[in-house]
């Protein structure tokens, strides 16, 4: 599978703070949620795949070794919500609330 965020994977991602990385992943999750509400499964899956890619880049960032469990758990719960049976009972509102906090923090720290 080819990378959608090639320039980020090439090193630019490591220049962003953790909050900025999570806010960017949250933007893709938000897109997936918006497409889910419009019943456009192809676009849901595309946005979801981009979100996973960004979370993988975040998990691979050596600065975040102490957060790796949270990042991987988040990835698992997102996969459960978008591609699984939603065993964790996640909701659109809970995903928005989770990622909005990072967007707020990233903007506040600019």
User: Among the listed ranges 11-15, 54-58, 100-104, which one has the minimum average pLDDT value?
Assistant: 11-15
Q: Is 50 exceeded by the pLDDT of residue 89?
A: yes
Q: Is 60 exceeded by the pLDDT of residue 95?
A: yes
- Give the pTM: 0.89
CB count within 10 Å of CB 108 equals: 8
Q: What is the average pLDDT across 81-88?
A: 96
Separation of alpha carbons 109 and 4, rounded Å: 27
pLDDT confidence band for 109 (50 / 70 / 90): confident
pLDDT at res. 1: 46
Separation of alpha carbons 29 and 96, rounded Å: 8
């Amino acid at each position: 599978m080819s990378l959608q965020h090639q320039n980020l994977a090439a090193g630019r991602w490591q220049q962003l703070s953790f909050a900025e990385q999570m806010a960017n992943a949250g933007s893709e999750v938000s897109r997936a949620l918006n497409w889910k509400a419009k019943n456009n499964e192809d676009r849901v899956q595309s946005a979801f795949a981009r979100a996973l890619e960004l979370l993988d880049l975040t998990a691979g960032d050596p600065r975040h070794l102490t957060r790796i469990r949270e990042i991987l758990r988040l990835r698992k719960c997102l996969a459960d919500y978008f591609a699984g049976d939603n065993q964790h009972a996640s909701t659109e509102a809970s995903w928005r609330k989770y990622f909005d906090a990072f967007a707020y923090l990233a903007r506040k720290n600019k």
